[in-house]
Structure 1
Amino acid sequence: MMQIPGVLVASLTGATAAALGMAPFLIRSWLGRKAQVERCAAVEEGNAHLTSLWQSLEAEVGHLAGARIPDLVRSLAHPHVPVRGLLDDRFAGTDIERALGLVLEQVREAVTKERLRVDSAARAAMRGSTSTIQAMLYQLQSVLQQMQERYDDPYIAQDLLAADFLNEQTLRRVQATAVVCGASWTGLIREDSYLADIVVGAGSRVRGYERVQASNQLREPFGVVARAVEPVAITIAELLANALHYSHPDLRVQVVLLQGHQGASVVIDDAGIGMHPEEFQRAERLMTGRAPVLLTELGDPPQIGFPAIGQLAHEHGFAVRVEPSPYGGVRAIVYLPGALLTRMDPEAQPMSAMAPRHRSATAPAAAPAATGEVLPRRRRRQPTGAQPGPRRGEAAPDRTPEEAGQRWAAFQAGTESGRAAVEPGAQQAEGKATS
């Protein structure tokens, strides 16, 4: 066996002892380096997470400015437009979500205040303009009436009737616009009037009036009290205009006057294109007259019919609703409570020859309804007598000049008698516009 020199053995023993002595230090050094590496990795991971959160927050702010705020502004004008939510669900329930929500609320308040301010200024300007235009239209109406009295040529009369009819349509639109803009006065002062006469008069204000077919199912000759006559006339005219406009020119619009225990109703049915459920809901909201409506919500050009109806109904105490018609179109119902009705005296104030007769005038008398028992009887002065004039649309060439002159004179007399009650209102309108 080979012998290891003693010197070498002594040298190896010393090296081993030295190495064993350094082992704890080397282990601690290695462990410390490992911990440092792990800390660095954790820091890097934390930095990456923070970087991701910062990028997400930047994206969220961009989403707020580029999508959510524009959605909010559009939704204020069009409630059906949804406002998008958070882009990153990690912010849900955090202070970041609450801060972004506060920004949206502040934008909502600022935009709403500005819209109300602009709308109020626009309404004030429109009220002033419509008042002036109304007065001018009443003056034009008087001029046309004077011309009708001056000329008895049937051909000139036909042109004057066309001009008068166009003036009536323009006046109706101006009246509705004034109501929507906050005018509490509709422009005319009227006497108590038969409900049937109001329906006929409202029909004469709309294009296509010859297609309106009215039926009077009232048991008594009921009328509307003076303060509500013109608002009811404007309402019925707007509903007839809608029914005629949205139905085929060959189709008739049916109007029925009905009497109930608590009041009377005017039911208007058309067989037109109808309305979608959302349109019925919007119409119901507008015709309550309770919720404020901005001019900017009425479209371009503005659709002022339903808002005007709602304002008039709310202010004067009657109700209007629309629903699907059994004929496939739209049914509109104007309900007048007993407080707005009065039993008329046919001897003191005859009904117009153009108005449909109530049932008691063409059939055996029926027992009066409860409503009729509590309605006051109004006595009115006897108006100027007049024979019914020619129906609108009848041709005159087959008549002799003498016959045409007689018929035209009778029609002029009837027109003058019918307008006598509203002339004070026209004068008041002129005074308001020039004051």
Structure 2
Amino acid sequence: MTQIPEAFLEVLAAGAAAAALVVGWLLFRARRLVGCLRAERDAALEANEHLDARRQVLEAETRHLVGVRLPALATYLAHRHVPVPGLLHPVFAGTHVDQLHRGALDQVAKAVAAECQRVDEAAQAVMRGATTVIQAQSYQLQSKIDDMQHRYEDPDIAEDLLELDHLNEQNLRRIQATGVLCGAWPGLTRADSHLGDIVVGAQSRIRGYHRVQVASKLELPIAVVARAVEPIAITVAELLANAVHHTHGSLAIDVSLHQVEAGACIVIDDAGVGMHADEVEFATGLLSGQQPILLTELGDPPRSGFAAIGRLVQRYGFSVSIDKPAPYGGVRAVVFIPGHLLTSA
């Protein structure tokens, strides 16, 4: 029997040991590689889950923008007391998503405001043309009534004509106010007129004129220059109509005329229910002439009186304030006429 040399056996054993080491190292490397691959797979799955969750949150935020925030914005533009909700998920606050959504809201608000302005200007143009025609016809009717009052001496007819004349004056006041609100000219050019005569003329244009009590505290005869006579008459008539409307039928409206250092004042005190702070704030904005006016924001029926006064204030340079309470608990309205609109009577 042939014997294998011991040297060969030693070499063979060494080779087997080396092969075992190589195989072990390869198995170790394979296990490490498998572990790395598993870790990368788990990380990829986790990242995918994170992206999917973020996508779902982003979709929910976009649905919130389209279904909640944009409709609320449309309502807010028509009714300023309605709030517009913020982000559904605060995690987006200050992010690029938040900026994009805010940009979308701003663009929609600008587009809606521009369209509202365009529609309102078109409506004002139509109303301006209509009131000009109706106002001219009211003046013609007034002339006819005046002519009939001179031709008929029967007391009953005279009384009926007087009622018709007063009714026409009320219609004319409303037409004038609407026209002025829509940018029309007041409609009459008068001569310089005494301040007391302007107030009495304004008194004749309202329902319940007999309840208005006028007291002059002027030391000198003061007149208003021609170009401002009709605007101030319209203003006083609207303020008197508002005072009479909000005061009980048995109570009087006190009007007083005052001369001041820088001009003259017409003070109107009523004994009505007064105004809340938010009503005073809204009315003050209209009377200042600085607040943009849309017909759609004046209510139904439209509260055009203060808005029309604001247009006249802005155009002619006098002022109206209602921020002081009347002595009787109602509203005090003060018309201040600066010296450049006054002259000697």
So what's the TM-score if we normalise by structure 2? 0.90
In 2, the alpha carbon distance for the partners of 1:64 and 1:256 equals: 56
1:64 maps to which residue? 65
Aligned to 1:208: 208
Q: Hey, what does 2:287 align to over in structure 1? A: 287
Match of 2:252 in 1: 252
Q: Which amino acid aligns with 2:209?
A: Y
How far apart, CA to CA, are the structure 2 residues paired with 1:38 and 1:253? 88
Name the CA distance, whole Å, in 2 between partners of 1:306 and 1:62: 42
Amino acid at match of 1:90: V
Q: Which amino acid aligns with 2:127?
A: M
After TM superposition, the structure 1 = structure 2 runs for residues 311-322 of structure 1, keeping only pairs within 5 Å, are 311-322=311-322
Summarize the alignment of residues 11-410 of structure 1 with structure 2, pairs less than 5 Å apart.
22-183=23-184, 185-323=185-323, 324-344=325-345
Once residues 20 and 326 of structure 1 are traced to their aligned partners in structure 2, the CA distance between those partners, rounded to angstroms, is 110
Which range moved further: 27-36 or 157-166? 27-36
Q: Which runs of 5+ in 2 are unaligned?
A: 1-12
Give 1:250's aligned amino acid.
S
**Percent sequence identity over matched residues?**
55
Q: C-alpha separation between the residues in 2 aligned to 1:26 and 1:335? A: 101
CA-CA distance at 1:59 after TM superposition: 1.6
Q: Indicate the SS of the match to 1:266.
A: strand
Cα distance between partner residues in 2 of 1:51 and 1:116? 44
In structure 2, C-alpha distance between the alignment counterparts of 1:70 and 1:212, rounded to whole Å: 48
Partner of 2:10: none
Matched residue, 1:412: none
Rounded Cα–Cα distance in structure 2 between residues aligned with 1:207 and 1:259: 28
* Inter-partner Cα distance in structure 1 for 2:101 and 2:93: 11
- Tell me the residue number matched to 1:358: none
> Partner amino acid for 1:173?
R
Matched letter for residue 274 of structure 1? G
165-174 vs 48-57, greater mean Cα deviation: 48-57
Secondary structure at the counterpart of residue 254 of structure 2: strand
DSSP-derived class of the 1:321 partner: strand
Following superposition, the deviation at residue 34 of structure 1 comes to 3.3
Distance in structure 2 (CA, Å) of the matches to 1:289 and 1:136: 29
Letter matched to residue 305 of structure 2: G
Which amino acid is 2:283 matched to? A
Equivalent residue letter for 2:248: H
Alpha-carbon offset, residue 90 of structure 1: 1.9
Deviation at 1:86, TM superposition (A): 1.7
Higher relative contact order (CA 8 A, sep 6+): 1
**Aligned residue type for 2:100:** A
Letter in 1 for 2:322: V
For 1:187 and 1:114, the matched residues in 2 are separated by: 30
Deviations 1:169-217 (A, max 9, x none): 100000000101011x211121111111111111111111111111111
C-alpha deviation, 1:32, in angstroms:
3.3
d(CA) in 1 for partners of 2:191, 2:23: 120
In the aligned structure 1, how far is the partner of 2:164 from the partner of 2:64? 58
Higher helix share: 2
Name the SS for the 1:83 alignment partner: coil
- Local SS of the residue matching 1:61: helix
**Shift in CA distance, 313/21, structure 1 to aligned 2, threshold 3 Å:** closer
The 1-side partners of 2:115 and 2:157 are apart by 53
Q: Distance in 2 between matches of 1:247 and 1:98?
A: 52
Distance across 2 between alignment mates of 1:215 and 1:151: 34
Alignment partner of 2:337: what SS?
A: strand
Counterpart AA for 2:145: L
SS in 2 for 1:333: strand
> Which piece of structure 1 moves more, 71-80 or 158-167?
71-80
CA distance in 1, matches of 2:68, 2:274: 36
In the alignment, the residues of structure 1 paired with residue 31 and residue 272 of structure 2 have an alpha-carbon distance, to the nearest angstrom, of 91
Displacement of 1:226:
1.1
Q: 1:19 to 1:325 in 2, by over 3 A?
A: farther
How many corresponding residue pairs?
330
CA distance in 1, matches of 2:300, 2:20: 95
Q: Render the CA deviation track for 1:17-75: whole Å, top value 9, x for unaligned.
A: 79877544444444433333332222222112111211121122222222222233333
- CA drift at 1:289: 1.2
Amino acid at match of 1:216: S
**What letter corresponds to residue 315 of structure 1 in structure 2?**
R
- Aligned amino acid, residue 141 of structure 2: L
Shift of 1:288: 1.4
Give the CA deviation at 1:305. Answer: 0.6
SS of corresponding position for 2:169: helix
CA RMSD of aligned residues (A): 2.1
| Shift in CA distance, 34/326, structure 1 to aligned 2, threshold 3 Å | farther
Matched residue, 1:390: none
Counterpart Cα distance in 2 of 1:338 and 1:190: 19
Deviates more, 1:156-165 or 1:67-76: 67-76
Name the SS for the 1:275 alignment partner. Answer: coil
**1:232, 1:24 → 2: CA distance?**
105
Alpha-carbon deviation of 1:141? Answer: 0.8
Q: Deviations over 1:133-191 (max 9, x none)?
A: 001111111111122122222222222111111111100000000101011x2111211
CA distance in 2, matches of 1:59, 1:250: 62
Alpha-carbon distance between aligned partners in 2 of 1:27 and 1:208, rounded to the nearest angstrom? 107
Shift in Å, 1:236: 0.3
